[in-house]
Structure 1
Amino acid sequence: MAGDEGIAKWIVERLQNDQQFTAVNAVGGGYLEIVRKDHSPFTAAAIGIRGVVLPDHVAPLFGGVRSPQFVVNVPSKVIWSGPAIGIIHGAPAAFGTLGELGRAARDEDVSSYRHREYKFFERAFEQHGAVRAVERLYDRVFKLHRYRGLKAITVVLVDAYDMSAEDVRNARETYGRFDAAVKISSYGSITTAAKEAAASMEAEAFKFGDLMGRLNKA
Structure 2
Amino acid sequence: MPDHANWLVGVLPQHAEVTRLERLGPSLVRVERKAAPPAIIGVISTDPVRMDDCEELLGGSPRPDFILNIPKSAKWLGDVIDTLEAQGLSWGKMYDLYRALNFENDVSDYRNPGLSFIERLFQQHRNVDHLERVSDQVYRLHRGKGEPVVVALTDAYEVTADAVRSAYGLLAPFDVLLKNTPYGRISTQGSAAAAELGIEICDQSSIFTRLRNDGAGDH
> Could you say which TM-score interval applies, normalised by the shorter chain?
over 0.9
Pairwise mapping of residues 121-160 of structure 1 onto structure 2 (< 5 A)?
A: 121-148=118-145, 150-160=146-156
Task: After TM superposition, give the deviation of residue 66 of structure 1 in Å.
Answer: 1.8
The CA distance in 2 between the partners of 1:42 and 1:48, in whole Å, is 19
Q: 1:179 to 1:135 in 2, by over 3 A?
A: same
Secondary structure in 2 matching 1:198: helix
The structure 2 residue matched to 1:171, chosen from 146, 167, 171, is: 167
Contact 2:65–2:89 (Cα < 8 Å) also in 1: yes
The CA distance in 2 between the partners of 1:217 and 1:39, in whole Å, is 47
Q: 1:47 to 1:29 in 2, by over 3 A?
A: same
Q: Return the letter of the residue paired with 2:169.
A: E
1:38 matched to 2:51? The reply is no
Contact 1:58–1:87 (Cα < 8 Å) also in 2: no
Identity %: 31
Q: Return the letter of the residue paired with 1:117.
A: G
The CA distance in 1 between the partners of 2:16 and 2:197, in whole Å, is 48
The structure 2 residue matched to 1:183, chosen from 154, 179, 185, is: 179
The CA distance in 2 between the partners of 1:6 and 1:31, in whole Å, is 9
Secondary structure in 1 matching 2:73: coil
Q: Return the letter of the residue paired with 2:75.
A: I
1:117 matched to 2:118? The reply is no
Task: After TM superposition, give the deviation of residue 36 of structure 1 in Å.
Answer: 1.1
1:97 matched to 2:93? The reply is yes
Which residue is equivalent to 2:81?
A: 85
The CA distance in 2 between the partners of 1:133 and 1:17, in whole Å, is 40
TM-score, normalised with respect to structure 2? 0.92
Task: After TM superposition, give the deviation of residue 41 of structure 1 in Å.
Answer: 0.9
Task: After TM superposition, give the deviation of residue 62 of structure 1 in Å.
Answer: 1.0
The structure 1 residue matched to 2:202, chosen from 190, 193, 206, is: 206
Secondary structure in 2 matching 1:22: strand
The CA distance in 2 between the partners of 1:176 and 1:59, in whole Å, is 27
Which residue is equivalent to 2:25?
A: 28
The CA distance in 2 between the partners of 1:60 and 1:214, in whole Å, is 41
The structure 1 residue matched to 2:4, chosen from 3, 7, 10, is: 7
Task: After TM superposition, give the deviation of residue 52 of structure 1 in Å.
Answer: 0.9
The CA distance in 2 between the partners of 1:17 and 1:176, in whole Å, is 37
Task: After TM superposition, give the deviation of residue 12 of structure 1 in Å.
Answer: 0.8
Task: After TM superposition, give the deviation of residue 180 of structure 1 in Å.
Answer: 0.5
Deviations 1:156-209 (A, max 9, x none): 111111111111111111011111011121122111221122122221101111
The CA distance in 2 between the partners of 1:117 and 1:161, in whole Å, is 15
Secondary structure in 2 matching 1:88: helix
Unmatched 5+ stretches in structure 2: 215-219
Q: How many residues align?
A: 213
1:67 matched to 2:68? The reply is no
Secondary structure in 1 matching 2:159: coil
The structure 2 residue matched to 1:55, chosen from 34, 51, 54, is: 51
Task: After TM superposition, give the deviation of residue 19 of structure 1 in Å.
Answer: 2.9
More off after superposition, 30-39 vs 84-93 = 84-93
- Tell me which stretches of 4 or more aligned residues in structure 1 moved more than 6 Å: none
